[in-house]
Structure 1
Amino acid sequence: MGSIRRSKTKRRTRDLDQVHQDLSSKASVQKLSNQPLDESKPGLGQYYCIECAKYFETDFAKTVHRRGKNHKRRVRMLKEQPYSQAEADAASGLGVEKYMKFVQTYEQAKQEKDAQEKQKKESEMVIE
């Protein structure tokens, strides 16, 4: 009798909150994109998709993957803020004030980021 596929840990990838943490700082993104050569990983560890936490044999395989449905779905899921312990505490009634402050700072940061992206797009349009 074969093993149950859902319980195989070798097929398990990194969870969204772990990948979101990897993408949160530029240093970690730089570290993951410029890894040292490792013979035990596919493609010597040089072709790594950070969003999907997956290694590829060649650069072509990685670019084909980035155009694919699974990668786009994963990127869309990563745009949302991951579920946190503060959210769980607020749902149970503990630390609601602390959670509300967290939400306000997150929304302000998101607005600032959107404003910066808008200015960047406008400056690119002026240059062209």
Structure 2
Amino acid sequence: MGQPQRRKKKTAGDKSKHRAIKQKHYDKDIDQVHHDLKPEVAQKLISQPLDEDLPGQGQFYCIECARYFIDNTALLHHKKDKAHKKRVRELKEVPYSQEEAERCAGMTK
């Protein structure tokens, strides 16, 4: 009898596939979401014009997770979800500014 067959690895050898899958599941970074949470930007994101290419025509948007939903019930279920609550917890911390990073590196005058 021969050796049992092993399962093929799908993305290990093909770097372009690996990169494509990684970009497909890309979320906005925390500092980008902090910018979206400013009142003037958040108001624009909440009241978007109708767009047929987006789920729910772009009317049901979670600012914290930067995701669109089909209807209001899906958005409400998402807000009770573990992933949403984790993202909100991460957003409570104030992000580092460029000035703060330079001070830590000793690049101040």
TM-score of the aligned structures, taking structure 1 as reference length? 0.68
Number of the residue aligned with 2:100: 87
Structure 1, unpaired ranges of 5+: 97-128
Number of the residue aligned with 1:29: 42
Deviations 1:83-128 (A, max 9, x none): 22112201110227xxxxxxxxxxxxxxxxxxxxxxxxxxxxxxxx
Deviations 1:15-54 (A, max 9, x none): 0001001112x11111000000001111100000000000
1:4, distance to aligned residue in structure 2 (A)? 2.8
Number of the residue aligned with 2:91: 78
SS at match of 2:37: helix
Number of the residue aligned with 1:38: 51
1:47 aligns with 2:60: yes
Q: In structure 1, what residue type is equivalent to 2:102?
A: D
Give the Cα–Cα distance (whole angstroms) in 2 for the partners of residues 6 and 70 of structure 1.
Answer: 23
Give the Cα–Cα distance (whole angstroms) in 2 for the partners of residues 71 and 80 of structure 1.
Answer: 15
Give the Cα–Cα distance (whole angstroms) in 2 for the partners of residues 90 and 56 of structure 1.
Answer: 41
TM-score of the aligned structures, taking structure 2 as reference length? 0.79
Task: Choose 1 or 2 for highest CA Rg.
Answer: 2
RMSD across aligned positions (CA)? 1.8
Structure 2, unpaired ranges of 5+: 1-9, 12-16
Number of the residue aligned with 2:73: 60
| Number of equivalences | 95
